[in-house]
Each structure stands twice: as structure tokens, then as C-alpha cells.
Structure 1
Amino acid sequence: MRRERLRVLLVEFEKPDPAAVALGRVLRDDGVEVVHAGRLDTLEQLRSTAEQEDPDAVGVLGAAPPEGLEAALGDVPVFTAATAPEVVKRLAGGRSHTGEAPSDRAR
């Protein structure tokens, strides 16, 4: 089953990162469904949360993604704040707002 909107899981790994909230807002304004899991401290917590949320991509902020995360998530891309725009654009096929999911600014 394919979703109409991309679903992205944002995680603050090991330490809080205020940029997570800002990035979540930018993604949401671009029509992406954002799940902000907050701070997680271990690879196992991150993997378990990703399994529960079933995201199209996982964004890791606060610290570098833990080693082995990409292997643990299979085909789910992992990104950081620096690589978020290119990963989300690639997953979305270059689309932005749609009639079904307009920006919050347009609501």
C-alpha cells in the first residue's frame, strides 16, 4: 500500500537538538507527515520506534546516526539535517504541496 503523503520519523539521537522542531515544521509545510519521536539513546530504541511508525525515511539530529542504523532499517533512507532536502525531494519525486495536503500556511 502506498501512502499519499511521505511519512518521516525525526529522532534526536543522544542529545536534544532544537533544529529537529524547525526541520519538522519545514517538512510538514512541504506536505510531509512528520513523526517527532524526541530523544532516543540507543540503536535498539531507534530501530524499534522506526518499526512502530513505519516511516518512508528517518532523520537523525543531535548526533551522528549510530553505526549499523541503515542496516537495521533495511531500505528506509537515513538522513541528517544537512541531507534532509535532497533525501525528501528524491523520495517525493520532486513534488511539493498537493491539493490534498497543502502547507499549514495555506490552511
Structure 2
Amino acid sequence: MIRVLVVEFTRLDPAAVALGRFLRDEGLEVIHAGPLGTVEQILRTAEQEDPDAVVVLGDEPPDLPGLRVFTDPEEAAEWASGGRSHTGDAPSDRVR
């Protein structure tokens, strides 16, 4: 199953809950981390959860090297509803 980490960066974003529901309806496993205030917190959470993609909503989304990151909920929804591959560069640790 494809795992997606949804993060609200520096502020609450009501779109995160709606997006999480949509992604679940599309058959993805959603981890909603809620608001996180630093890039380090996002990276640590992503390391622990091992998601296939990260959706970052909120103020000035950070650069997260090595992760497939979506900052636009519509783009993430489009990815989830079709034409997606497991990961951008390499399979997750769960399938190696």
C-alpha cells in the first residue's frame, strides 16, 4: 500500500483533513502529522514513517531533499487518483 505523510507546515490548514480523506478514499495509507514547525521535524517524521510521498501544506513549504513532495493539494490528489508509480527514484525500505 502506498503511504502518504500529510504535514501542515507552521500553521493549521483545513485542506489537510479533506485531502487526507480523499487520499484514504483512493486507497492510500495516510499519516496526518498535523502542524510541524521545522524542516527537521518533517524530516524526522518522514524517516520514522517511511512514506512514499509527503504533502506539505502551509506557509512557504520547505525543500525536502530525497523525498517526493507535493505542495499543491490538487497535484497530490491527481497523483493519488492515477498514473502514479511507487516512488520517484527508489522503492521504499519496506519492499527492498
| Superposition pairs of residues 50-89 of structure 1, within 5 angstroms | 50-66=46-62, 68-69=63-64, 71=65, 74=66, 76-80=67-71, 81-88=73-80, 89=82
Q: Number of residues paired by the alignment?
A: 84
Of the two, which has the highest radius of gyration? 1
Seen in structure 2, the aligned counterparts of structure 1 residues 9 and 79 have a Cα distance that, compared at 3 Å, is same
After superposition, what is the alpha-carbon deviation per residue over 1:16-56, rounded to whole angstroms, capped at 9, x for unaligned?
A: 00110000000001101000000001110000000000000
Give the TM-score normalised by structure 1. Answer: 0.71
- Unmatched runs of 5 consecutive residues or more in structure 2: 87-96
Moved over 4 A (4+): none
1:91 aligns with 2:84: yes
Q: 1:92, CA displacement in angstroms?
A: 5.0
- Unmatched runs of 5 consecutive residues or more in structure 1: 94-107
Give the superposed CA RMSD: 1.6
| Sequence identity percentage | 60
Give the TM-score normalised by structure 2. Answer: 0.79
From 11, 35, 41, give the equivalent of 1:39: 35
Partner of 1:105: none
Where 1:27 maps in the other structure, the secondary structure is helix
